[in-house]
Amino acid sequence: MQYRTLGRTGVQVSSLALGAMNFGAVGHTSQEDATAIIDAALAAGINVIDTADRYSAGQSEEFVGEAIAGRRDDIVLATKATLPMGDERNHQGSSRRWLFTALDDSLRRLGVDHVDLYQIHRWDPTTSDEETLAALTDLQRAGKIRYFGSSTFPAYRIVQAEWAARANHLSRYVTEQPSYSILQRGIEADVLPVTEQYGLGVLAWSPLGSGWLSGAVRAGREITTHRATILPDRFDLTVPANQARLDAVEQLATVADQAGLTLIQLALGFVTAHPAVTSAIIGPRTLEHLTSQLAAADTVLPADVLDAIDAIVAPGVDLAAHEKIDTRPALVNPVLRRR
């Protein structure tokens, strides 16, 4: 396992992080399964576990909490808030009111008195940067969080938050958690240069492209990845972007074969090769999935392999740009771009 420094913090983290989104109802993963996956991940050298209150409505945090009991101090524990937790309109967002409540709820479910990294799951356009950063700074000073970060923020919002922290003498975000894979490289054009400029650690989610790069999606075969049952539109081959992804996967599989690698090793090695990326977050549902992904722990792709990938999917290009979830609100809501 490789280890890197997490942004400006001095904390050493593994190049593969364990994501817990599939623990619980979403991934049909039981407590026993989750504990076995965590045991194996820690034994392999992974020291980061990333979850969120939203995952299976808190069940993921509960499963993680039970699994890490008695060894919490050996783990860099990360969770998130902001996405809706129920139907009450104020049980979401990044206001002081909600973040204080949401963190206490997460700590209770996790069975801990603090988390190492608390992340704003999505930018909340209804709350000012100053309010959010002030709340997070106060939670940090209270000892409930060690550091805090953002997740899936567009580049300009990362910059805005950095300036708001400086102008108001508040603590700064130390990490960003974006979606990044061979098939979705858009953040190379804006987000990653910004995180490098400001010294943020980057924890990349969906490095296997929601299953497209897992080996389970190939031409002429039935699509068996679990994600296809949750998000069928993303695997509908009548959609041009999905056909483009399949075409790329077939070419990438050839590159992997020629390099003596699995497609998973190629995909994870690509993400961790970028100098701005600290860790790639893997999200196995089973021990078998974890084993196949751990095989990439020490994968280092040579320049000729990276060049071959660039020739298939160009730097800075998203093959499914319509799936991006960090789009500026005015590009989605016509009310915001009309007088």
Q: Could you tell me which of 283, 263, 281, 291 has the C-alpha nearest to residue 182?
A: 263
Query: Which structure tokens are listed for 67?
Result: 């699994």
Residues forming beta bridges with residue 78, ordered by sequence position: 50, 117
Residues forming beta bridges with residue 177, ordered by sequence position: 151
Half-sphere exposure of 73 (CA within 13 A, CB side): 1
Which position has the token pair 């974006």?
178
Q: Could you tell me which of 203, 279, 289 has the C-alpha nearest to residue 45?
A: 279
Distance, in Å, from the CA atom of 168 to the CA atom of 100, rounded to the nearest integer, reads: 20
Contacts of 192 (CB under 8 A, 6+ apart): 178, 202, 274, 276, 277
Catalytic residue among 55, 118, 147, 173: 55
Distance, in Å, from the CA atom of 78 to the CA atom of 67, rounded to the nearest integer, reads: 14
Q: Considering only CA atoms, give the Rg of the chain.
A: 19
Distance, in Å, from the CA atom of 144 to the CA atom of 33, rounded to the nearest integer, reads: 28
The total of other beta-carbon atoms located within 10 Å of residue 115's CB is 25
Distance, in Å, from the CA atom of 182 to the CA atom of 248, rounded to the nearest integer, reads: 9
Q: What is the separation of C-alpha 105 from the centre of its chain, rounded to a whole number of angstroms?
A: 21
Which position has the token pair 């021990």?
287
Distance, in Å, from the CA atom of 140 to the CA atom of 330, rounded to the nearest integer, reads: 33
* 180 flagged as catalytic: no
Residue 266 in contact with residue 256, Cβ under 8 Å? yes
Residues with catalytic annotation?
Answer: 55
